Amino acid sequence: MPMNVLARSGFLLAQRPQLLWNNRTICILESGILDQVRHSTKRGGGSASNHGGSPGQRLGLKLFSDQAAQPGDIIIRQRGTQFHPGQHVYMGRDHTLHAEIPGFVRFYRIKQGRKTRRYVGISTERGEKLPRDEATRGRSRYFGLVDLMKNEIVNLDSR
């Protein structure tokens, strides 16, 4: 096999002295003749399959700590239960956490055995620490349609 055929095939290129000129490798053969090897100027395109995909599911926190929430507001969209529902929060069938009452979002952790669970709750006062200490503060109750602070009773029949 002639020497420049071996050099062109790339077989002996690593053993020969090489020069790089204008994106081409120039080889100096034993006979002293300059030979060049052509490289491609474009990369191979390849075929793209299964690219593009589907749009994202927009998961994650929608309301953060101490932000105001109204009944029915989405607090967290999640797959599985990374966060569990706490006080005044309910979970939808796709594990989305919603607010039950108007209030402020609070995040807290409770250790249960070897695990620590993360919870989301709604407090009626901004900055209240959850879980609520029921021994000193009592239970948190919300009556949406009844004003418990109103002292007078309105008689609708006396018009």
Looking at residue 120, what is its pLDDT? 97
Q: Report yes or no on whether pTM surpasses 0.75.
A: no
CATH hierarchy code of domain 60-134 = 2.40.50.100
Question: What does the alpha-carbon distance between residue 137 and residue 124 come to, in Å, rounded to a whole number?
Answer: 13
Going from the C-alpha of 68 to that of each of 31, 48, 126, the distances in angstroms are: 84, 46, 9
CB atoms near residue 33 (< 10 Å)? 11
For the stretch 57-113, pLDDT in tens is 999 999 999 999 999 999 999 999 999 999 999 999 999 999 999 999 999 999 999
- For the chain, which residues make up each domain, given as ranges? 3-37, 60-134
Which has the higher per-residue pLDDT, 50 or 123?
Answer: 123
Least confident of 12-16, 116-120, 145-149: 12-16
What counts of helices (H) and strands (E) characterise the chain? 2, 11
Contact 23, 36 (CB under 8 A): no
Looking at residue 8, what is its pLDDT? 54
For the stretch 127-153, pLDDT in tens is 899 999 989 998 888 887 776 666 655
Looking at residue 31, what is its pLDDT? 65
